[in-house]
Amino acid sequence: MKGDYQDLVDEISALLGAPATLENRDFRLIAFGAHDSEDDLAMDPVRTRSILTRQSTAAVRSWFEGFGIARATGPVRIPAAPDAGVFRGRICLPVRYRGIVQGYVWLLDRDPGPAPEALEAAMEVAQRIGVLLAEEAKAGADLSREFLAVLTAGRGWQQDMAVASLRLALGAGAEGLHAAVCVAPWAGEAPSSVPGAAAVCVVPADAAGAGGPAGQDRLAVLLRLRSPDAMGPALTALGRLLPRPVGTVTGQPGTPRPAAPTGTRPGPAPTGGTTTPGGAARTGGANQTGGAAGAGGAARTGRTETGGGAGRTGAALAGGAAGGGRGSGTGGSVGGVSAGVSEPAQGLGELPGAWGQAVAAARAAAAEPRLGPVAQWAGIGPYRMLGALPAGPVDDPATRALLSPAHRELARTAEVFLDCAGQAGRAAAALGVHRQTLYYRLGRVEQLTGLDLDSGEDRLLLHMALKSARLNG
């Protein structure tokens, strides 16, 4: 397929007497003609970056799209803009199929420009490119049956057979680097094309072996990756599947960090610190003196709170950056929809496990405001382990009463306290209550649960129960 694109690009270059480049609708380079010009302006920064990195920046894309190329049905002339790194004007030939833009052919403009009849002939070639791009996108959608079989097959020979069928259908690309993506909940059919996808399918709510909570359909995407570092751009494109465009996982090179989306899921509100289930002493910022008897009858007096602990690194994912911390009242998902992404894996042998990671990450993104709406499995912390457990309500006898609707505020208090590593000062500040109020509530928690919050194991049990309840809520 790549050779076909190159031949067609070379044909356009010959028709117009200028080197052409072909990019898909997401400005990813597919093919380019040879540059034999000695003119220094023939390779301006924008064109050089496109060829060397095989992609353009979001700013470049936005600038060119401002000239209406996504809506155009014929050649579009774009003037030079040295301040933007565009030293030479461009001619853009939109590549369309049945009215839908599939990509763009780019040429450097010159004076005099190509004759109208040459441009018309070049547009005919662009239409042939559009057919190829559309067929390639459709091929990924046509693998939905094989892809779904891998995600829902039972362990053992059935799963091995399903993976073998998908590997055969994908051909040489099957041995490349992939990541699994879960978008949930999903209504309707799978999209006709997803940028960078090798296969797409909808996993029905009642599908056996698909993992995750029952009662909701999920969209599954098998992403092709050129390298682990390519995850950021891939997720930026994937974010367009959500109700409104979102950014991608923070910590990825060159990825945006948009403001947090608003939502409805209430959440606890610790400020900083690393979540430490169990065993963490109630130590923190200031020297604690005075104080009333705490939970379980142990007086929290004279405790020195030292060291605030490490901050959350890599915790905030798309939409959960500045202003979107916990306690802000913002939800992790956009319009109730969230997405999870697995770790990159070579080939298809680990695809079932990667799907499990993607489902767990999507559930975590929906549960935790700081993680959504697009969460990567590596960044969901304790939910990596909790997400591997069967989905369902928490029913531990010690925490059953605390998790009832009647004690929602106490449960939230306990979760914030444990998220703050047992540091009373930080927990009280995060909750917006007086320290004595916090101690009173913690005492009530211990009475309801029979747990001792000075015991590391009891803290671990309570923290796991609270996080599991959030994950399955």
Judge if 397 and 384 occupy the same domain: no
Judge if 87 and 150 occupy the same domain: no
Judge if 164 and 192 occupy the same domain: yes
Distance of CA 80 to the CA centre of its chain: 35
Determine the structural domain holding residue 126 and report its residue range.
2-137
Q: Which of 329, 357, 388 is the last residue of a domain?
A: 388
CATH classification at residue 403: 1.10.10
Provide the domain count of the chain. 3
Q: Which of 358, 388, 418 is the last residue of a domain?
A: 388
Judge if 183 and 231 occupy the same domain: yes
Judge if 184 and 122 occupy the same domain: no
Instruction: Give the pLDDT of residue 59.
Output: 75
Judge if 367 and 248 occupy the same domain: yes
Is the CB of residue 132 less than 8 Å from the CB of residue 186? no
Is the CB of residue 248 less than 8 Å from the CB of residue 255? yes
Judge if 398 and 449 occupy the same domain: yes
Judge if 375 and 406 occupy the same domain: no
Instruction: Give the pLDDT of residue 75.
Output: 94
Residues 6+ apart with CB under 8 A from 297: none
Tell the burial category of 246 from Cβ atoms under 10 Å away from its Cβ (0-12, 13-18, 19+): buried
Instruction: Give the pLDDT of residue 265.
Output: 33
From 356, 351, 353, select the one nearest 163 (Cα to Cα).
Answer: 351
Residue 24, SS3 per DSSP = strand
Q: Which of 87, 115, 137 is the last residue of a domain?
A: 137
Judge if 317 and 174 occupy the same domain: yes
What is the C-alpha to C-alpha distance for residues 58 and 269, in angstroms, rounded to an integer? 33
- Report the predicted TM-score, pTM, of the whole model to 2 decimal places: 0.52
Per-residue pLDDT of the chain (473 residues; tens, 9 = 90+): 455 788 999 999 999 988 899 988 878 888 877 655 555 445 555 656 555 444 566 777 888 889 999 889 999 998 887 776 677 888 999 999 888 888 999 998 887 888 999 999 999 999 999 998 887 766 655 788 889 999 988 778 888 888 998 888 888 778 889 999 999 888 878 876 677 788 889 998 877 555 655 568 899 999 888 777 767 766 666 666 665 433 333 333 233 333 333 333 333 333 333 333 333 333 333 333 333 333 333 333 333 332 332 222 222 223 322 223 333 333 455 557 888 999 999 989 899 999 999 999 998 988 887 887 888 999 998 888 887 777 777 778 898 899 889 999 999 999 899 989 999 999 999 999 999 999 999 999 999 999 999 999 999 889 988 888 887 76
Judge if 262 and 373 occupy the same domain: yes
CATH classification at residue 12: 3.30.450.40
Judge if 234 and 339 occupy the same domain: yes
Instruction: Give the pLDDT of residue 261.
Output: 30
Instruction: Give the pLDDT of residue 134.
Output: 81
> How many Cα atoms sit within 13 Å of 306 on the Cβ side?
3
DSSP code string of 395-424? --TTTTTTTSGGGHHHHHHHHHHHHTTT-H
Instruction: Give the pLDDT of residue 343.
Output: 92
Q: What are phi and psi of 468, to 5 degrees?
A: -65, -40
Judge if 339 and 301 occupy the same domain: no
